[in-house]
Chains A and B, each alone.
Chain A
Amino acid sequence: MTAALSPRVRRLRDLATRLTTPLLPDDYLTLINPLWSARELRGRIVSVTPEAEDAATIVVEPGWGWDFPHAAGQYIGIGVQIDGRFVWRSYSLTTPPSRDGKRLVITIRAMPDGFASQHLVSGVAPGTVVRLAPPAGEFVLPDPLPEKVLFLTAGSGITPVMAMLRSLDRRPDAADDVVLVHSAPDAERALFADELDLLARRHPSWRIVQRHTRAEGHLTAPAGLDEVVPDWRERQTWACGPTEMLDDAEKAFADAGVAESLHLERFAASFSGSAEGGTITFARSGRTVESDGATTVLQAGEQAGVPMPFGCRMGICHTCVAPLRSGAVRDLRDGSEHRVRDSAASDSSSITVQTCITAAAGDCTVDL
């Protein structure tokens, strides 16, 4: 992954690559500083600060090639080595863009059965080098802002909303009519409780409700919601939390006929692009399948019985990468095309593609 470079830097880099071929200059520079490589995006853990019980805020300094603007509410992929393997998870950025320069801030709650989250909360020392995936996600506030906003969060679902609140906090034109209902088991386990109190004091027109479910029970929709936020049907709502909570909200908003004013974060790839479709040949296993433009290469291979490697299935972890020998595939997230260049003009007649987020753009051959 190489970020956009100025023509001069690019020329210099190309020249240096002639000396380091078949490797990149980056591969030698990382011997000096592990962040001096744009080959795979990487970052260094600057600090790990414990938050409310079993959560921690982690600050990451990204390395070369990280040149991505992000919007409040988006998440990044983070790959940590556990037992020698890179394990990938995605976490919402909790600070709005540019507040800490280029530093990335995420808050992670250690899940009881979450190997990676526990490792990140209690196992990584500052200085650890991690891999990164660019910011992604459609869970963002529109511009201009709607007049009436509702945030519904539970547990660590507060993290993307925290980025939104912090960004609203700094905007003079910020919406006045903001309601947040955040559920946590109890005061001890409530993330960002102090900061939420502070925000409530700074913005008298905001209403911040911290609900402790052990004492008050889970917020139900629509009954519970009617009680706490009677005008929820008139509000643009952003919700993030456990699946059951999101399912509940989705049903309540649909039943009320306002499904389009509910915005959910489910941590899954959202496919907005579509591809042409075509015949996919799996060279090593000798199988060929007709595939439409909405079916990922991964799904097509699995349906044809090809042993396909896979990981996150949402385009962040790179476990599924496979060499594309000929033809083209299209990234279903943004519609960008990855095509094997004409072999006469290139150095290598194959490229690697992520099968979980790409579909055939015409006939193509994958080396699996």
Chain B
Amino acid sequence: MAISDIKEFAHLTEADVEALGEEFDAIRRDVEASRGAADEEYIRGIIKTQRRIEIAGRAALFGSVVPPLWMAGAALLGVAKILENMEIGHNVMHGQWDWMNDPEIHSATWEWDNVCPAEQWKHSHNYLHHTYTNVLGKDKDVGYEILRVTSDQKWHPVNLGQPVFNTLLMLLFQHGVAIHDLDIEGLLRRDIQDPEEFKAKLEQVGRKMRKQMGKDYILFPLLTGPFFLTTLTANMTANLIRNVWSYAIIFCGHFPDGAEVFTEEQLENETQGEWYLRQLLGSANFTGNRLMHVMSGSLGYQIEHHLFPDLPSNRYPEIAERVKEICAKYDLPYNIGPFPKQFWKSIRTIWRLALPNKKFAAEQAAHESEGLRRENASSTPSAEADVRVAA
């Protein structure tokens, strides 16, 4: 069974968890108090760069019949879409830049360059996923309602098709994201909870799809006149590049080994400290240089992003240093590895879980009941924390 008491799992006392929560609160306060012109310059710089890259890509495709221009156009446009969706759109919609008081870069108004309506994304992602992170039955991101990503999810013969579904999801990722807020589980069971709402949301997705596809697959190809077809294929390639890349980055966030899942019992009377702990234990980071992190929407700092989803992404590196210190202090794991390794671990799990795989399930269950291994059982800071609370 998934984790239903995170304190017990982490072998931490209530006082430990409370002290831990206070340390995370302090990070938030410090970053909030120091947001300023440098951060503002960062996001404006990224937005300007992204728009210039996009213009360059579209411009190159006016000669899309020439292979080097086709390739340059597709690549530039792919990069532009990645930057827009990830480091800009995803983070702006989290409210990371709302403090600037600029309606043009604000979570209430941002609409991103893919087929998913921002409003639905803010519900399924910001609200459901970031509140109920990795809670079975509550967080739809645990397998996106079509994949078995933990042995806590019961095996069904349909899971045999996982490697295929997974590949399709990768190729059509923006469409998967677009229907993420719909009641897919209900649809599969032929028992949609709220058919009216389902229809309204589907129509909203349809409108966004028409606009996005109209732009990329009809209007821009038409504008390039005789090169309609080559521009069309370049634009499809750009969307595909973005799909595959964002899929890969996102699958590294919660599916690598060591990212824990939880039961709904854990949510009952969950304290702020436990919430932080759940975000920490449920997320996984990957290493990389600055360019890699910008190109992945700073999701290589998935742990920091889940602890502080609305703090500016350019501050995650410095936040990470402090989070690592806290993890060391409380003897908690900090799940990090090179990107290829984390990605491989995610894919391996999905392939393994296509089968009932009782051995793997038993291993997971044993880990979940045993809890975190401690280097040194007496090193938990509860004694220290008790003193602090008493003081």
Contact = CB atoms under 8 A, between A and B. Distances in A.
Contacts of A352: 103, 108-109
A311 B100 CA distance: 12
Interface in A78-110: 79, 81, 83-87
B104 A40 contact: yes
Determine chain B's interface SS by DSSP, over half rule: helix
Contacts of A343: 200, 203-204
Contacts of A79: 101
Contacts of B101: 79, 85-87, 311, 317-319
B40 A84 contact: yes
B290 interface: no
Nearest to B218: A18
B137 interface: no
Nearest to B35: A84
A201 interface: no
B112 interface: yes
B100 A84 contact: yes
Given A321-B103, A352-B108, A19 B37 contact: no
Interface string A346-361: 0111101000000000
B39 interface: yes
Contact-residue size bin, chain B (C-beta under 8 Å from the other chain): 35 or more
Contact-residue size bin, chain A (C-beta under 8 Å from the other chain): 20 to 34
A6 interface: no
Determine chain A's interface SS by DSSP, over half rule: loop
Contacts of A86: 100-102
Interface in A30-86: 31, 39-40, 79, 81, 83-86
B212 A39 contact: no
Interface string B91-114: 000000001111110101101110
Contacts of B119: 323, 348-350
Interface in A316-358: 317-319, 321-323, 343-344, 347-350, 352
Contacts of A323: 108, 119
A22 interface: yes
Given A18-B219, A21-B215, A343-B203, A348 B103 contact: no
A28 interface: yes
A342 to B, nearest CB: 11
A25 B28 CA distance: 37
B211 A21 contact: yes
A308 to B, nearest CB: 13
A21 B218 CA distance: 13
Contacts of A318: 101, 103
A14 interface: no
A268 B120 CA distance: 37
B37 A83 contact: yes
Contact of A85 (B51, B100, B106): B100
A210 B219 CA distance: 66
B207 A21 contact: no
Interface string B192-234: 0000000010011001100110110001100100000000000
8 contacts: A18-B211, A18-B215, A19-B219, A28-B51, A81-B40, A321-B106, A343-B204, A347-B207
Interface of B: 35-41, 48, 51-52, 55, 99-104, 106, 108-109, 111-113, 117, 119, 200, 203-204, 207-208, 211-212, 214-215, 219-220, 223
